[in-house]
Amino acid sequence: MTGATPRRTQAERRARTRQAVLEAAARRLSTHGYAHLTLDWVAGEAGYSRGAVYHQFAGKEELALAVVTWVEETWTAEVGSPAAEADPVDALLTLARKHAVFCRRDVARVLLTLRIEFAGQDHPVGRAITGIVDRLDADCADLIAAGRASGVIPPGPPPRETAAAYTSVVEAVGIELAGRTPYDIELMDRAVRGVLGLPPTGN
Amino acid sequence: MTGATPRRTQAERRARTRQAVLEAAARRLSTHGYAHLTLDWVAGEAGYSRGAVYHQFAGKEELALAVVTWVEETWTAEVGSPAAEADPVDALLTLARKHAVFCRRDVARVLLTLRIEFAGQDHPVGRAITGIVDRLDADCADLIAAGRASGVIPPGPPPRETAAAYTSVVEAVGIELAGRTPYDIELMDRAVRGVLGLPPTGN
DNA sequence: TCTCGCATGCAGACAAGTCTGTACGTCTCT
DNA sequence: AGAGACGTACAGACTTGTCTGCATGCGAGA
């Protein structure tokens, strides 16, 4: 029995189930949000029952938090880390472009959807999202301040406000133009350059 | 005898109740979304019971739709109409600035919240929102095309995509920097100019 | 102007549906 | 055979929508 037999180890079986549930939940969260996320739908979509979901995750909230950390790790690997360059301008422009590419996937909406849904509330999922966004905002503010200090970024509003505008613009353009290649990247570039005060055609 | 006297006509009484319910629902929708909107909370916040809400509106969905049309009318009066100018560039820049001012109010988030919540679904409330947004997108696309034709807006991606980027940027910056005067308007200007391909400092 | 009958605004109780979380049984792997 | 993965039945909580009853405003007639 060496062929495609469903002969799996317990750990592999568990990991496979967990991943299937995680992806189904991410897909549902990105389009319907947390409130409309029913564990019955997630389990069925993943090919299991609710019992399996509860065996893998403590509950609905834990599942959503797992999705958030999973998406964040994916985002950091594909967007955040590649954009860690020396030059602040390059870093900010690269981050924006990479994010536009990242948004071509359906799960990219998860963070935006949950952030909007839990804005102004005190919920563990909302806190996780704001923690991620706040860190990103702070990093971008530092980059902007450094760029202003070295002269590669023209002066303007305070770094915190400029960074807030930068991240919100990156998020919005990425989601709104998701998949409309190649205009998603071009318009992302335009918007970011505008916020930072850079000249239109610098590439 | 304007507030203390409970001697009011029926029509006035009805209008007062309806407005109180409408405002409470708008506040809740902007921060918690449709799914977390409980009629019990709305009624209590407005100073009535659920029976009053059901007497004024056919149900939860009708209430949300009424909030949407109310917010849209307010937005059109304060943002859309004042921005109807002859010059496309002035119209787009004025619209963005007026929207930044509009976003300083708490109910401004309603359209964004509901749009995100019902994205990718088939729901009457979602359809109402997308209808509003689509009309605005189309109008902005026409403005951009006209501006390109007359030469006041430099060439770039197709008007539809540029308009989508424009509206999403206006929405995002307005919400994210709501109230941070005067940087909300300045960064709104920067972002919009960037999307349209206009030079940074033209004011 | 007073009063009576009707319509309307509004509150509370009730029924029905939905979802979460838990308990327990079954099957598969070690 | 024991342990873990998974399915199913059940209880509890929450919300929507409806229905009934009471209070208040409005118009007609004496």
pLDDT, tens digit (0-9, with 9 covering 90-100), for A18-64 = 999 999 999 999 999 999 999 999 999 999 999 999 999 999 999 99
**Two structure tokens written together for A99:** 């994010």
Strand D nucleotides in reach of protein CB atoms, 7 A cut-off? 4-9, 14-21, 24-26
Q: Which residue in the block uniquely carries the two structure tokens 């300045």?
A: B186
Checking if the pLDDT of B6 tops 50, the result is no
Picking from B27, B86, B17, the residue whose alpha carbon sits closest to that of residue B56 is B17
Residue B85: pLDDT band with limits 50, 70, 90: confident
Q: Which residues in chain B are contacts of A168 at CB distance < 8 A?
A: 172-173, 175-177
What predicted TM-score, i.e. pTM, was given to this entire model? 0.91
Checking if the pLDDT of B128 tops 70, the result is yes
Checking if the pLDDT of A5 tops 60, the result is no
Please state which of the ranges A27-41, A111-125, B5-19, B38-52 shows the lowest mean pLDDT.
B5-19
**pLDDT (tens digit, 9 = 90+) per residue, A80-100?**
888 888 799 999 999 999 999
- pLDDT at position B155 is 97
| Percent of chain B topping pLDDT 90 | 85
Q: Taking CA atoms, what residue in B is nearest to A187?
A: B195
Distance CA B82, CA A118 (A): 33
For A185: left if phi > 0, alpha if psi spans -120 to 50, otherwise beta; the answer is alpha
- pLDDT at position A101 is 96
CA A4 from centre of chain? 35
Checking if the pLDDT of A134 tops 50, the result is yes
Q: Which amino acid would we find at residue B19? A: Q
Rounded distance in angstroms from the CA atom of residue A50 to the C1' atom of nucleotide C19: 12
Phi/psi for A84 (5° steps) reads: -80, 80
Residues in chain B: 203
Strand nucleotide closest to residue A8 (CA to C1'): C29
Sign of the C-alpha dihedral, residues B154, B160, B164, B170?
positive
* CB spacing of A190 vs B194 below 8 angstroms: yes
**pLDDT (tens digit, 9 = 90+) per residue, B41-63?**
999 999 999 999 999 999 999 99
Q: Taking CA atoms, what residue in B is nearest to A169?
A: B169
Q: Which of B36, B157, B186 sits opposite A187 (nearest CB)?
A: B157
- Note whether A113 and A26 are within 8 A (CB): no
Distance CA B202, CA B195 (A): 14
- Note whether B189 and B201 are within 8 A (CB): no
- Note whether B28 and B53 are within 8 A (CB): no
A 10 A CB-CB count for B126 gives 18
